[in-house]
Each structure stands twice: as C-alpha cells, then as structure tokens.
C-alpha cells in the first residue's frame, strides 16, 4: 500500500486573485511606494482599528524601526519574554539596548505578575508577544507600562486578527508590529511586515526610517534611515490576503476545534484564556515530546518546536536571569500541522497517530 501524502506543518494559500494582483503591478511599472502599498496601509489600519499602518520589509524590521522611532538606544533596557522567536530580541539588540526578560504564564505569554520586578531605572520599553495566535493579558501589562511611563509595543507577528476584550492586537498598546512571512496567518508570499499605531508622529518617524531617513521632497536626511520598504507586488498580495484573513482564521479555529475534540486529554492541548485565538500554531505538550515528534515525522507528519532555545539560552544574546516556566515548556511543546487549508482528513490522521503513540507509550 502506498504511504499517505506527507502533511506539512503549515501551508500558505495562493489564489488566482493574488496572481492577477502581481500581474497588475508588473504591468503598472511602479514597484515601490505606489498605490498598492498606500491602499494596503489604509485597509490594514481600518481592519486593525488604528489610525496608521506603515508597510515594512519584514516583521523583524518593523520591530527594529518601531523601537528606533520610540528613541530606544544604547544604555536603555527593553523587556520582553524568553519564549519568543529570536526576532523580538534582535530588534532590541539592533538598537544597542539591553534585553530584560519576564517569564511567561500558562497562556505561553508574558506573566503580568512578574513584570514590575523586572523594571529598572533604565527600562524604556516593554514588548509583550501574542504567541501562537493567543494574546497576552494586556490590561495588567498596560497598567504597569502606563504607571512607569514606558513605551508599550505589541509583537503581533503571530496574531493577525486575534482580539482581546473586543479590540484587535496591534491596537492594544502604543504601537504594534506584524509579519507577513509565508507561515503567518496572512502572507505576501515572500518577506513583509507592518507597523501600526494611533500616534501620527511615531508613524511619520517610521515612514522616514523605512526609506533612507530622507525627506522625499527635499532630499534632506535628518536621521540615519534604512531601506525597509514593503514593495508593491507584496502589498498587492497582502490586500487580497487581508480580505481573506477572517475566513482563514475561522478555518484555523475549526481545525483547532477538531484537534481539541479528537485529542481530548491525551496531551495538553492549547487553552483560550481570554480573547479570541487565531491559532497561528497549534501547540500541545507531552512529557515524551521528542519521541512523539519522531513518531509523527516517521509517518510523514511535519512538526515544529516553537521555541526549542529560549532567548536567555541563545549564544548570540546576553540575558541575565532564569525562567523556569519557559524552560519547562521548551522541553514539552510540540507544534502540530496547522493552517487555514489543512483538511479535516489530515487533522484526523495527525490525531490518530498522536493517540497511537500515547496509547503505546
């Protein structure tokens, strides 16, 4: 009997409308800072419920420029969590600032009860990360940030469309950053990102920083800028993806519900603690994670670990402290296949294999 087709960890959606959008840009001859980006920025801001959206070359660059625009530099400290993608830390380091970490709680996101103790006189900013598509408990985080006068930046690179108390991630702080990397809930089929804020002055600074720091009219460069623009073909694809985002997220939630139902309590399944989850990743925990992973991969089912090395263990970073909750999770977490277009049959096959492993273990 032929073995069944492999199941990828994630699968992007590319439609004819996206292909047509790319052709439209190619025919237009305008490839950067044109109508597609301007339209996307308007549409993205409206969707997220913010005043400004600025298209950036990647989520990493968006985080970097956001901190730069907020004036973060050498001597400053920025607080984030150990359980996140390396990019969150890179953005802080690119500014010459130091990283301070706060452990996560059972939601896999920043534990607000540990935040205040991490603040020092040098702390300038806090970056909570809405990990796996589930928001951080923002109200207590925002309360601490406001009391200490700190810049609050959401890393919303995994949470396009997720809500907290009725408002979308990206609109819950001073500013937010999104990624359009291929595996994210919406993509540009390449690299891209978005910076959002209600603060017009901050948006203007990020616009300047993404395009050489030079005033387009006068050619005068007041600041050392970067080349970090989101190009027109990507913006055109993103406009189509944004219109489909709610449908994508509904499909992800449907797949998550099927996982929840079939897995039961054979493994620790993700919980929704508050707000709405958009399941960028479907992350389970099992004490024998490595063997479970090997079992699944041996049967053509791709899995991931997000993340195997917490930030304070990364050789390229210097971060003090110990973070037992994150360390414990890092040994047990496993990301199962998830996207808007994985079929029920695929989810059922993954679950059957997980249950076989758990039963035999």
Taking the C-alpha atoms of residue 314 and residue 311, their distance in angstroms, rounded to an integer, is 5
Asked if 76 is part of the footprint of ligand PLP (rule: CB under 6 A), the reply reads no
* Angstrom distance (rounded) from CA 231 to CA 191: 10
End-to-end CA distance of the chain: 26
Q: What is the spatial order of strands in the sheet that 123-126 belongs to?
A: 52-56, 193-197, 175-179, 151-155, 123-126, 77-80, 98-101
Helix, strand or coil for residue 99? strand
Tell me whether residue 45 or residue 153 sits nearer to ligand PLP (CB atom).
Answer: 153
Minimum Å distance from CB 361 to ligand PLP? Answer: 31
Q: Does 58 bind ligand PLP (CB under 6 A)?
A: yes
Q: Which stretch binds ligand PLP (CB under 6 A): 47-55, 66-74, 79-87, 260-268?
A: 79-87
Per-residue binding string, ligand PLP, 189-228, x by CB under 6 A, is --x-x-----------------------------------
Which residues lie across from 335 on neighbouring strands? 283, 304
| Binding residue (CB under 6 A) for ligand PLP from 157, 188, 330, 338 | 157
Q: How many residues bind ligand PLP (CB under 6 A)?
A: 15
Structure tokens at 81: 């969590």
Q: Which of residues 246-275 bind ligand PLP (CB under 6 A)?
A: none
- Closest distance to ligand PLP from the beta carbon of 262 (Å): 27
Under a CB-based contact definition with an 8 Å cutoff, are residues 146 and 133 in contact? no
Task: Determine if 187 is a binding residue for ligand PLP (CB under 6 A).
Answer: no
Point out which span in 73-81, 108-116, 153-161, 233-241 binds ligand PLP (CB under 6 A).
153-161
SS3 57: coil
Q: What are phi and psi of 228, to 5 degrees?
A: -140, 45
Residues that bind ligand PLP (CB under 6 A): 58-60, 84-85, 87-88, 129, 155, 157-158, 179, 181, 191, 193
């Amino acid at each position: 009997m032929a073995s069944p087709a492999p199941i990828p960890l994630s699968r992007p959606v590319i439609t004819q409308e996206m292909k047509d959008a790319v052709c439209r840009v190619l025919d237009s001859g305008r490839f950067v800072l044109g109508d597609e980006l301007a339209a996307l920025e308007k549409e993205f801001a409206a969707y997220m419920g913010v005043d400004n959206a600025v298209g950036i070359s990647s989520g990493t660059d968006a985080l970097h420029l956001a901190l730069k625009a907020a004036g973060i530099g050498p001597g400053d400290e920025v607080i984030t969590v150990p359980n996140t993608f390396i990019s969150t830390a890179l953005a802080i380091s690119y500014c010459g600032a130091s990283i301070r970490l706060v452990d996560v709680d059972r939601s896999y996101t920043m534990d607000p009860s540990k935040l205040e103790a991490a603040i020092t006189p040098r702390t300038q900013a806090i970056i909570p990360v809405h990990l796996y598509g589930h928001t951080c408990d923002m109200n207590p985080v925002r309360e601490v940030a406001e009391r200490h006068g700190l810049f609050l930046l959401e890393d919303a690179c995994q949470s396009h469309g997720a809500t907290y108390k009725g408002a979308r991630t990206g609109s819950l702080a001073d500013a937010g950053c999104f990624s359009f990397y291929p595996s994210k809930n919406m993509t540009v089929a390449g690299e891209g990102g978005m910076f959002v804020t209600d603060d017009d002055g901050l948006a203007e600074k990020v616009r300047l920083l993404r395009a050489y720091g030079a005033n387009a009219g006068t050619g005068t460069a007041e600041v050392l800028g970067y080349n970090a623009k989101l190009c027109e073909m990507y913006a055109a694809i993103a406009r189509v993806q944004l219109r489909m985002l709610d449908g994508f997220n509904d499909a992800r939630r449907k797949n998550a519900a099927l996982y929840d139902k079939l897995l039961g309590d054979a493994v620790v399944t993700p919980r929704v603690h508050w707000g709405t989850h958009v399941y960028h990743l479907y992350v389970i925990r099992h004490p024998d994670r490595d063997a479970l992973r090997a079992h699944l991969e041996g049967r053509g089912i791709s899995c991931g670990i997000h993340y195997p090395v917490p930030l304070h263990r990364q050789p390229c970073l210097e971060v003090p402290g110990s973070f037992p909750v994150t360390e414990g999770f890092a040994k047990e977490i496993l990301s199962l296949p998830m996207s808007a277009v994985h079929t029920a049959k695929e989810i059922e096959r993954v679950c059957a294999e997980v249950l076989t492993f758990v039963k035999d273990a």
